[in-house]
Amino acid sequence: MNNGNYKIGVIGLGYVGLPLAVEFGKKFKVVGFDINKSRVAELNHGHDATLEVEDENLKQVLMARENSGLFLTTELDEIRSCNIYIVTVPTPIDEFKRPDLTPLVKASETVGKVISKGDIVIYESTVYPGATEEDCLPVIEKVSGLKFNFDFFAGYSPERINPGDKINTLLTIKKITSGSTPEIADVVDELYNSILLNGTHKASSIKVAEAAKVIENAQRDLNISFVNELALIFDRLGIDTNEVIDAAGTKWNFIKFRPGLVGGHCIGVDPYYLAFKAEAVGYHPDVIRSGRRVNDNMSQFVADKVIKLMIKKGLKILDSKVLLLGVTFKENCPDIRNTKVVDIVDALQDYGCQLDIYDPWANPVEVKHEYGIVTMEKNVDIYAKKYDAVILAVSHEQFGQIDFARLTNGSQSVIFDIKGYLPKHLVDGRL
C-alpha cells in the first residue's frame, strides 16, 4: 500500500461510480462491481447509457494492461483481491422524506464479506455527518469480524458529479478527501490526486468531509427556494420574476439564481439528510425545512397556473390535450432520478387532462419502470396533433428548434415555460 500498489474495487457503477472506475482504471487495476446484471453487460459492450463516459473512453480502459485496466463484474468473489474499496451507491429518501440508507448498508455488507486486514474502504455517497462511522463501518465490522482502525481503515471523499456537465467533470473539479487516521487521510488524498487535475482539499476528519458535502447542495436548495418564493409573490403582483432577477443582477454582488423545479439525486434530497441529523440531536432546522417545502410545492403551483391560464382562454379542462416537454430532472441529460416533472403529471391528471409527454433524452422504458408514466417514443412526430396547452418543463437544447405554432391552436392555446428558455413573446406564462 505504501508503494502505491493499489487494486481498487468500485462498488456501484452509476453516474458516480463508472467515471471514477474508468479514470482510476487508467492508472491502476480496477474491478467495478454492480448487482445490476443488465447494466454491467451493457458496460462490458462499451456503452454507458448515462452518457457520463464516452463509449470510446470506456472501451479503451476495458482493455486490460499489465498494471492498469478496468474489469466489470456482478460476481462478489471478483473484488476479493482488492485492497481499496470505494462505495458509490445512491442515498435516496423514503416516502416520508427520511434518509434511506438501505443501499449503503447493503454495500457495506458487501465490503464486509471481502475486506481483508490492512484494506481501506472509501465512501463517496452523500450522507449526514457521522453516517460513515456510526452506520456503515459497524456493518463492515460485524460482517467481517475485523476491527475498524486496527484491522481495516476508512476514508470519505464525497462525489461531486453533475450529470450532463462536460466542463465540471470528475477530473477537473477539486475534491474533498479525508481518512480515519492522519496516515490514512494521506493515502486517500494521494490516491485521488493521482487522477485529478485540480487537486484536493484534505478535511480534518470524515465528519467534516460529510458535512461539507451535504451543505453544498443544501445551500443551493435554499437559494433556489428563495427565488421560487419570489416567483410565488411576483405572480400575485403581476410581475415577471425573470425580469426582476435580470434587473437586480446588474448589481455586482447579486447572485442570479432562477426559479424552477428542484429534483435530482442531490439538491432535492441532501437537505433532508442534514435536517434528519439536526433533529436527531435536538435541533429543528426551520430554514432548511421551509426551503424544502417551497421547492416541493412548485410542481403543484405550475399545474394550477396552467389550468388558470386555460380557463381564462375559455378552454375546457376535462379531457383537454396537454403536451409536457421534458421529464428528466435537468436539461441535456437522461437522468430521471427524483424528477419533479412527475408531480406536474400527477396534478394535471387529477384535473382530468389528457397528457402526452415527450423527452428526447429520457428512456421511455426507464420512465415507465420508475414512475409508471408512459412517454412518447423518441422518433415520434410531435406535430401529429394540436394541443390545448404546452408546458416546457426541461430546457433540452432540442426544444429550441420546436415550432410551437404547429403544436397549438394559435392564440387559443396556452404555452407555459417553466425554465424561462423561450422568448417571452411566445409564451403565456413562465416562472
195 DSSP 8-state letter? T
The residue count for the chain: 431
CB-based contacts of 265, cutoff 8 Å, min separation 6: 15, 90, 92, 163, 329, 335, 337, 338
Alpha helices by DSSP H, 194-269: 206-237, 241-248
- CA torsion 213-104-368-422 (nearest 10°) is 0
- Work out the number of other CB atoms within 10 angstroms of the CB of residue 167: 7
The catalytic position among 82, 136, 266, 353 is: 266
Q: Which amino acid is at 377?
A: E
Query: What burial letters (b/e) apply to 83-97, b meaning 16+ CB within 10 Å?
Result: bbbbbbbbbebeeeb
Catalytic residue check, 266:
yes
Distance CA 201, CA 214 (A): 16
329 DSSP 8-state letter? S
Q: What is the DSSP string of 127-189?
A: --TTHIIIIIHHHHHHHH-PPBTTTBEEEE------TT-SSS-TTTS-EEE-BSSHHHHHHHH
Query: What burial letters (b/e) apply to 373-384, b meaning 16+ CB within 10 Å?
Result: bebbeeeeebee
Residues marked as catalytic: 266
